Amino acid sequence: MNGGIGRMRLIGAVFVLLSAAIVYQMVRIQNSEHSRQLVEMFAKTYNQQVRVIIPERGNIYDRWGNLLAGNKEVYEVGIAPQQVINPETVARDLAAVLEVDYYDTLRKAESYRKEGNERYEVIKDFVPAEKIRMLEEKVNAYEQAEKPKKGPAPSLVGVFWRPHLIRSYPENELAANVLGFYNYLDRWTGRGMLGLEEQYNNLLAGNKQQVILPMNPTEIQEIPEIPPGASLITSLDRDIQAAMERIIDQAVEANGAESGTLVVMDPKTGEILAMATTPHFNPNEYWRYGEVFPLGSYFNRAISQLYEPGSVFKVLTMAAAIDAGAVQPETPFVDVGAIEVGGIWIYNWDRGAWGPQDMVGCMQHSLNVCLAWVAQELGPTQFYKYLQDFGIGRYTGIDLAGEQVYPLSLPGDSNWYPVNLGTNSFGQGVAVTPIQTITAIAAMANDGKMMAPHVVSAYIQDGVQYPVNPRVIRQVVKPETARTISEMLAVSLENEASSALVEGYRVAGKTGTAEIPGPEGYTNQTNASFVGWGPVDDPRFIVYVWLEKPTSSPWGSVVAAPVFKQAVEELVVLMKIPPDDVRQQIASP
Alpha carbons 11 and 7: distance in angstroms, whole number: 6
What contacts 72, CB < 8 A, 6 or more positions away? 165, 166, 167, 168
Tens of pLDDT, residue by residue, the chain (589 residues): 455 555 556 655 555 566 555 545 554 554 555 555 554 454 344 556 566 677 899 999 999 999 999 999 999 999 999 999 999 999 999 999 999 999 999 999 998 888 888 888 999 999 999 999 999 999 999 988 888 878 789 999 999 999 999 999 999 999 999 999 999 988 878 899 999 999 999 999 988 776 665 655 555 555 667 889 999 999 999 999 999 999 999 999 999 999 999 999 999 999 999 999 999 999 999 999 999 998 878 899 999 999 999 999 999 999 999 999 999 999 999 999 999 999 999 999 999 999 999 999 999 999 999 999 999 999 999 999 999 999 999 999 999 999 999 999 999 999 999 999 999 999 999 999 999 999 999 999 999 999 999 999 999 998 899 999 999 999 999 999 999 999 999 999 999 999 999 999 999 999 999 999 888 788 889 999 999 999 999 999 999 999 999 999 999 999 999 999 999 999 999 999 999 999 888 876 6
Alpha carbons 89 and 136: distance in angstroms, whole number: 14
Question: Residue 325 has what DSSP assignment?
Answer: T
Question: Residue 458 has what DSSP assignment?
Answer: E
Alpha carbons 122 and 100: distance in angstroms, whole number: 11
CA–CA distances in Å: residue 579 to residues 421, 505, 543: 41, 6, 18
- Which ranges in 426-560 belong to alpha helices (H)? 434-441, 479-495, 556-559
Residue among 514, 392, 399, 528 nearest 458 (CA): 399
Q: Find out whether 51 and 211 touch, Cβ atoms under 8 Å.
A: yes
Could you tell me the sign of the dihedral formed by the alpha carbons of 107, 108, 109, 112, in that order? positive
Partners of residue 509 on adjacent β-strands: 532
How many Cα neighbours within 13 Å face the side chain of 102? Answer: 5
Alpha carbons 555 and 499: distance in angstroms, whole number: 12
